Structure 1
Amino acid sequence: MSVEVHHVLEGPADAPVVVLSNSIGSTLEMWDPQLKPLLDNGFRVLRYDTRGHGRSPVPPGPYGIDDVGGDVLALLDRLEISAAHFVGLSLGGMTGIWLGQNAPDRVRSLVLCCTSAQPGNTQMWLDRVQQVRAQGMAKIAEGSITRWFTQEWIDAHPEKAKELQAMTAETPADGYTACCELLADLDLVPALPKITAPTLVISGADDKALPPDHGRVIADGVHGARFEVVEHAAHLGSYEQAERFTQLILEHLKGADA
């Protein structure tokens, strides 16, 4: 059953809509670097907190990918948006894959960032669930920040790194663990050929959580997909290399609308 996720909708009512979908352990604020450029280029921007995150409800877990995808469809229905471009990172990208496979008429284009169609590492995700239950989210946040960014970026932006670490630390434990369970056995690879939306896949060259090989699998599985690897970017590449990610996103959205 879908939940009414917290969302923010900005931009002209008649502009094409771009949905921005967050990673596990973050909120809609992870897309702050992309917001103004998208608005300035004539898009209406819909950001939301995935269930179990930020200001969205935290229903009992475990969650399935159809749950988080269904929440997006319900949100589009509530806002009377027939179709939208969809940009997602990590879990957000997996949500986009599911939408492209199961609701193609609602997806104008896809940008799949630092993500995977089959994350693997089942035991790691289950171990992380146990770690959260034993130690809380603050400990998880310490590890997340070093996966999200290269050490060079953390050293150069210590205050911003602290803010983003706090974003994970403040994520509801039950929501985070339910999403870990979702990731533990997810496999969207077999249905990749069902995606018909124009698709751009972006990986970070320094992403140790989901290395570029994961992005290549998606790009190879989706007919006509474009694949880009951004240098000096770890898992939250849209933040670490915001200018390059934003440029690629805007190019793709404008091309899909042309």
Structure 2
Amino acid sequence: MKRVQLADGELNYQIDGPQGAPVLVLSNSLGTDLGMWDTQVAAFAKHFQVLRYDTRGHGQSLVTEGPYSIEQLGRDVLALLDALQIERAHFCGLSMGGLIGQWLGINAGERLKKLVVCNTAAKIGEPSVWNPRIETVLRDGAAAMVALRDASIARWFTPDYAQAHPEQAKRITDMLAATSPQGYAANCAAVRDADFRDQLGWIKVPMLVIAGTQDAVTPPSGGHFIQERVSGAQYAEFYAAHLSNVQAGEAFSQCVLAFLLADKAV
């Protein structure tokens, strides 16, 4: 694990893959850390320098006072690229990471080669969902994070997958219980306040949208909404709940690679 110094703290990151290869940035979902991409790294690192990082408020990265905004989290990504002297990169983000990807596509498209957004939407949920969660987490701290972990299995994985792969489901959901309550609440606010529905047409980089058929958090309808408003965007869907990269595994990896490697535009 390595760290980049931001203005207000350190951002934790990890790089895998051949030096000199094109860079692929992977951005985690709310309540996980860079380990959520473990399933993809071996396949992706054959072709790319895979740059994973813990979003502010998660994992081993800085936890600052909230609330956060998706713009703030997007600027963290740009600061990471600047610190590592990476002019342009591919970007793949899931859920909250997909919101960060949308912000980058809208506001910093010149830094992107291709963009993949997974299990996300231009707007995720309503304040009536997010505000009680923020209040509970800030009030109850670690106990609330454990309760969220136990409830997340049904949201993040289909029942058949969770039953067939209990160790994998536990590994991922344990990341939620280990997340800083302050950082989690601050990121909930960032997701709550993000709304890119009227700006999606500004995205001009090649884009792939991925959804999970059984995703109750960000249903396929949200992915279709993005695809229909970004010129030339492609769409793929897997049998999965919210964490399609984990549940669909190799099929997810190969889909992303086919998109990124098409036209040899890497």
Aligned counterparts, 1:30-179, within 5 A: 30-40=36-46, 42-132=47-137, 133-134=139-140, 135-179=143-187
**Contact 2:69 2:190 (8 Å CA) reproduced:** yes
Task: Spell out, residue by residue over 1:113-164, the C-alpha distance to the aligned partner (whole angstroms, 9 max, x if none).
Answer: 0011111322111111122233421001111121100011111111222222
Task: Spell out, residue by residue over 1:21-78, the C-alpha distance to the aligned partner (whole angstroms, 9 max, x if none).
Answer: 00000000000011000112x2110000000000000010000111100000000000
Correspondence for 2:205: 197
Whole-Å Cα distance in 1 between the matches of residues 210 and 195 of structure 2?
19
**Contact 1:2 1:74 (8 Å CA) reproduced:** no
**Change beyond 3 A, Cα 1:162–1:49:** same
Whole-Å Cα distance in 2 between the matches of residues 194 and 104 of structure 1?
9
Whole-Å Cα distance in 1 between the matches of residues 170 and 99 of structure 2?
27
The alignment-based identity, stated in percent, is: 45
**Contact 1:198 1:256 (8 Å CA) reproduced:** no
Kindly state the Cα deviation for residue 10 of structure 1 after the two structures are TM-superposed: 1.7
Runs of 5+ in structure 1 lacking a partner?
none
Match of 1:16 among 19, 22, 29: 22
**Contact 1:86 1:111 (8 Å CA) reproduced:** yes
* Worse overlay, 244-253 or 157-166: 157-166
The yes-or-no answer on 1:234 pairing with 2:241 is yes
Amino acid at match of 1:80: Q
Aligned residues: 256
- Corresponding residue SS for 1:5: strand
- Corresponding residue SS for 1:120: coil
Match of 1:218 among 223, 226, 230: 226
Whole-Å Cα distance in 2 between the matches of residues 111 and 172 of structure 1?
27
**Contact 2:30 2:184 (8 Å CA) reproduced:** yes
**Contact 1:24 1:176 (8 Å CA) reproduced:** yes
* Worse overlay, 114-123 or 91-100: 114-123
Amino acid at match of 1:161: A
**Contact 2:99 2:194 (8 Å CA) reproduced:** no
Task: Spell out, residue by residue over 1:83-137, the C-alpha distance to the aligned partner (whole angstroms, 9 max, x if none).
Answer: 0000000000110000011111100000100011111322111111122233421
Whole-Å Cα distance in 2 between the matches of residues 46 and 24 of structure 1?
18
**Contact 1:192 1:218 (8 Å CA) reproduced:** yes
| TM superposition outliers: structure 1 runs of 4+ over 6 Å | none
Runs of 5+ in structure 2 lacking a partner?
1-6
Q: RMSD of aligned C-alpha atoms?
A: 1.2
> TM-score, with normalisation over the residues of structure 1?
0.96
Kindly state the Cα deviation for residue 3 of structure 1 after the two structures are TM-superposed: 4.7
